[in-house]
Chains A and B, each alone.
Chain A
Amino acid sequence: MSAAASAWRRLGVALLLLGLLAAGLFRVVPFRAELSDLLPPAETPAARYLLQELRGGAATTLLLAGIEGAPEPELARISRAVGDALRASEQFAFVGNGTQDLPPKERDLLFRYRYLLSAAAEDPSRFTAPALRQRLESLIDGLRSAASPVLAQFGFADPAGAFLDLLRSWLGESRVALRDGVWFAADAVAPRALVVARGRAPGTDLEAQAAMVAAFETAFAAADPGPARLMLRGPGVFSAAAAAAVEADVRMISILSGVLIAAFLLWRTRSLLMLAAVAVPLLVGMLAGTALVFAAFGAVHGAAFGFGMTMLGVGADYPMLLVGQRRPGEALGATARRLGGTLGLSALAAALGLTAMLFSGFPLLAQLGLFGAAGLLAGAAATRWLLPCLLPGEAIRARPLPPPMIRALRRLRGHHGTVLLLPLAAAALLVLGGPRWNDDINRLSPVPERLRQEDAELRRQLGAPDVGTLIALRGADAEAVLRRAEAVQRALDPLVAAGALAGFDSPARYLPSAATQRARQAALPGEEALRAALAEAAAGLPFRATAFDRFLAGIADSRTLPPLTIADLAPAPTLSARLGLLLSDRDGAWQGLVIPNGLRDLPALSGAVAALNDPDILFVNIKGETEGLVAAATGRALRWVAAGGAAVLLLLWLALRRRLGWAAGLAATALTALPIGGALLVTLAGLTALGQALNPFHLAALLLAAGVGLDYALFLGVPVAEDAAEGDRNFGAVFNCTATTLLTFGLLSFCATPVLQGIGLCVSIGVAAAFLLALALAPRGVVTARPPCNGSTGA
């Protein structure tokens, strides 16, 4: 009794001190939540560009919304109210929800600049008598038609048709249906009003993104939506949703697994002291991991902390192994000394494996590896040296497993039949065609699959097709980028004519460079020549002499206009919105995008861009680049995992050689490594059978599973005294570890976040297989007190 009371006192003080330390540490350490830390590093300029765009490009400022769940007129009313409120909030550079109608001020500006903006003006033959004759005849014809109001409005001031050509080329065909003046999804089963908004802040500004989302939700609530629902998607929403999803998963796991593990430990030890004892190395590990990651990276990623803590859950094995294998009457300090070598070796080996993640190149994985390695080592050290001082005497007595379980485990121990699992797994892997490697960058994202699909659906309904390739432009100013866009345009026009490409969108389509505008001015006809051509063209047609005065004045005005620049577009919100995604100022460096569509000949396109031979014009094949990015990162992670594995084997052999000598050390190393290698094989087969495509996070999880499996192999492989009770205690302790690990990671495999689910599955399968295999290969004879059969003890 006094032992327990003293243990409680000491444990209480230790936990209090550790808690205070933790509280202090969390005050100092900043936590990050950036999704981009989950992305692999870039190795090519195209990949670098792509990652930068994924992190903070113009596309990350987009918010897409669907409003549904009410009758159409009601949805239209809500959409209009939301649109008006968002425009009034001034948080958005552009809000589109319906009639894409040029505001009168913008129409006047564009009409004034029609001969500078339209490519039609470049062609002097447009202003000759025969060409004008044709236009005038079709003007008369048009005036007879139902379209006469539009033609009468623009036809006399612009018989050359530059303005209407301009509008036609900009507006194009839209797949969005317009009802009641509001955008609706054309193919939706239930009516869904569509709204798209572009924020002013870059996607990297998470606070501004959150404010945009809040503005949207406030505007929607203020529109008195009744039964209607707002469906908001876009990178800003994704960051929040992903953070929430990871947080919800981690919370669910920590609470559920905490409760389950506590219940399991209580069942096994009937002692609350055990719970407190397990908490000590866990807390020490967490402190060490957090402090080290903070010291190395300057901040701790929230996800690294969350995943890392689940990893450290494995660290709870150490006190269980220690307490569980204490012999009756033995002081815990003596047990720690007896098992210290094995404990140290297994922690060192697991940490060595995790250290490999430091070099994976993924910022998150590197943090996770460091956190796990430091945490495990610190946890093991706390178990070895701290716990024995905190738990004097026989404060905790592990109870033997229930007899049926002991009998089952005894039968499994040394039962080589289990090893048949390995050829089975190998055969399964062969049949399934080997493990599949993930090359989809989206699978690395913690954004729930459902959200991503809804986002894709909204994009499709809004007529924004998936962009497969793009051409990125750079320049010191907007003019430089626009000139490059025009160079690309000249290179791509022949491809469009040849059918290699259906078309492309370019910033220069909306705003030609000042150089081009000046060239167009210079190409405009002189007044006398134009007058003469007009008179010749109008001969015999019923036009009054003054009919085209506005045209002549317009041409004269165009000749002296200063070129339109991006700074003059304040009265032109529609044009600005179109241009905004294609031309943007990124901290003083201007970036442009040319987006091809309907691509049929990829080599022709990349060849045409390469032929421009301009380092500031970059061809990006998005799918290829991201796949390459992921594959390169996966390959690198794989190499480091292999290196980590080799290092662990070396460490094992060095340690065992010292204990057992050369040859026996080698055999023992093989015997220890076999269950782990086998478990990895079984895990790969299991994951492949479950349809999981492997990514670097799986590799990290495999490392963890290997590290844990190593504990089992080492502890089960320890030559124990010829005592059945000792053998039972031995595998009882290891069984307890397996059970708690399975409780944590088994739960993880029910997570909604794909990455967490993958880790959960990986570790669960790996740990279960490692336990069974280690048990099968463990020395049998000492337990049953019969002579060892065929020397499989490895000793």
Chain B
Amino acid sequence: MTHRRTLLAAAAGALVAATTRAQQPATLDAVMAALAARRQGRARFTETKEFPELSMPLPSSGTLSWSAPDRLEKHTTEPLEEILRVEGDRLVFARPAQNLRRELGLDDQPELRPLVESVRATLAGDLAVLRKHYEVRFAAQPDGGWRIELTPRSMRVYAALQSVAIGGRGDAVLSVVTRGNQGETRMTITPEP
């Protein structure tokens, strides 16, 4: 008797949970969990950079690839080939046409790691790292999309970088908008299957 009632209650509970997930907008924890569950990803991107000193934006495009836990590569193909790869604590920056290759530690400059982690920690679903560098605000959209707004905690970083806004849906990141006092960069991402 008692046994059957427990079972019933559990079934009801499960039902309620399932309906909530379907109807309610996403939560930050759920988005992070979904992102963390995704171990690999490839996408195409287009990016435009705007600077107050320039009369027109500068466009570029290429591919992004992610592989958990910490490897992120941005391969720009147009208009000039450029590779930016982060793995562990090292960053590699290369422009093959100029035969330029530079390797840096993420801690070599104080602004570097926060900038990298805004994207990498998001892809890794690592909220703790995000919160270490940023105030994190989350907004769910009615259509199932979400938006994470990051504001640097360090005054020094804030002086150069005012905000990073990351938009996505489910376990996919679809846009990154970075606003600094030197200008604004908008990246639009199209995941590849």
Which residues of A pack against B, CB within 8 Å?
98-99, 101, 104, 140-141, 143-149, 152-153, 156, 177-181, 542-544, 546-548
Tell me how far the C-beta of A143 lies from the nearest C-beta in chain B, rounded to whole angstroms.
6
A-B contact count (CB 8 A): 71
The answer to whether A144 touches B54, judged by C-beta atoms less than 8 angstroms apart, is no
Q: Tell me the smallest distance from the CB of A543 to a CB of chain B, in Å.
A: 6
Of B107, B108, B182, the contact of A153 (CB 8 Å cutoff)? B182
Residues of B within 8 A of A178 (CB): 105, 107-108
B54 engages A542 (CB within 8 Å): yes
Option from B55, B56, B180 in Cβ contact (under 8 Å) with A149: B180
**A544 in contact with B160 (CB, 8 Å):** no
Q: Is B93 an interface residue (CB 8 A)?
A: yes
User: B28 in the interface, Cβ–Cβ < 8 Å?
Assistant: no
Complex CA–CA separation, A145 to B53 (angstroms):
16
Contact across chains for A143 and B49 when beta carbons are under 8 A apart:
yes
Q: Could you say which of A104, A156, A180 contacts B53, with CB atoms under 8 Å apart?
A: A156
Q: Can you name 22 A-B residue pairings with CB atoms under 8 Å?
A: A98-B107, A140-B58, A143-B51, A144-B49, A144-B58, A145-B93, A146-B74, A147-B93, A148-B185, A149-B111, A149-B115, A149-B182, A156-B53, A178-B108, A179-B105, A180-B107, A181-B107, A542-B54, A542-B55, A543-B54, A547-B53, A548-B53
Task: Indicate if the CB atoms of B107 and A179 lie closer than 8 Å.
Answer: yes
Q: Closest residue to A146 on the B side, CB-wise? A: B84
Q: Which of B100-150 contact A (CB under 8 A)?
A: 105, 107-111, 115
Which of chain A's residues has its CB closest to B161's CB? A149
Cα distance A181–B107 in the bound complex, in angstroms: 5
Residues A547 and B110 in contact in the complex (CB < 8 Å), given A144-B79, A145-B95, A177-B105 = no
Judged by a CB distance under 8 angstroms, whether B151 is at the interface is no
* B160 and A153 contact, CB distance less than 8 A: yes
Neighbouring A residues of B4 by C-beta, 8 Å: none
Contacts A144-B58, A144-B79, A145-B82; is A544 near B53 (CB within 8 Å)? yes
B89 contacts partner chain A, Cβ-Cβ < 8 Å: yes
Q: A273 → chain B, closest Cβ, in Å?
A: 75
* Contacting pair B110 A144 (CB below 8 A): no
Asked if B30 lies at the interface with its beta carbon under 8 angstroms from chain A, I say: no
Asked whether any CB of chain A lies closer than 8 Å to the CB of B183, the reply is yes
- Which of B56, B79, B108, B160: most chain A CB closer than 10 A? B108
Q: Is B156 an interface residue (CB 8 A)?
A: yes
Give the complex CA separation of A184 and B56 in angstroms: 45
Q: Once the chains are docked, how many angstroms separate the CA of A177 from the CA of B90?
A: 11
Q: Are B160 and A547 in contact (CB under 8 A)?
A: no
Question: Does B60 lie at the interface of the complex (its beta carbon under 8 Å from any beta carbon of A)?
Answer: yes
Q: Which residues of A contact B161 (CB under 8 A)?
A: 149
**With A144-B80, A145-B95, A152-B183: A101-B54 Cβ-Cβ less than 8 Å:** no
Give B154-189 as 1s and 0s: 1 = Cβ < 8 Å from A's Cβ atoms.
001000110000000000000000001011010000
What residue of chain A has the Cβ atom nearest to residue B159's Cβ? A104
Given contacts A99-B110, A144-B60, A547-B54, contact A152 B105 (CB under 8 A): no
Shortest Cβ gap from A287 to chain B (Å): 64
A152 touches B58 (CB 8 A): no
A685 and B53 CA atoms in complex are apart in Å by 82
Distance (whole angstroms) from the CB of B20 to the closest CB of chain A = 40
A104 and B154 alpha carbons, distance in the complex (Å): 14
Given known A-B contacts A104-B156, A144-B80, A149-B182, A179 and B54 have beta carbons under 8 A apart: no
Q: Which chain A positions have C-beta within 8 A of B107?
A: 98-99, 178-181
Q: Which among B56, B60, B95 has the highest number of chain A CB atoms within 10 Å?
A: B95
Q: Contact: A141 with B80, CB < 8 Å? A: yes
Min CB distance, A170 to chain B, in Å? Answer: 14
Complex Cα gap A178–B113 (Å): 13
How far is it, in angstroms, between the C-alpha of A153 and the C-alpha of B161 when the chains are bound? Answer: 11
Contact A542 B56 (CB under 8 A): yes
- Kindly list chain B residues whose C-beta atoms are within 8 Å of the C-beta of A143: 49, 51, 54, 58
User: Which B residue's beta carbon lies closest to that of A548?
Assistant: B53
Tell me which residues across on chain B come within 8 A of A153, comparing CB atoms: 160, 182
**What 1/0 flags go to B64-98 for Cβ under 8 Å of A?**
00000000001010011010100001000101000
Contacting residue for A146 out of B82, B105, B108, CB 8 A: B82
A148-B84 Cα distance, complex, nearest whole Å = 13
What is the CB-to-nearest-CB distance from B135 to chain A, in angstroms, rounded to a whole number?
A: 20
Least CB distance, B123 to chain A, in whole angstroms? 17
Complex CA distance for A542 and B51, rounded to whole angstroms: 10
Note all chain A residues with C-beta closer than 8 A to B160: 149, 153
A153 and B180 CA atoms in complex are apart in Å by: 10
A178 to B180, CA, bound (A): 27
Known: A180-B107, A542-B56, A547-B53. A146 touches B93 (CB 8 A): yes
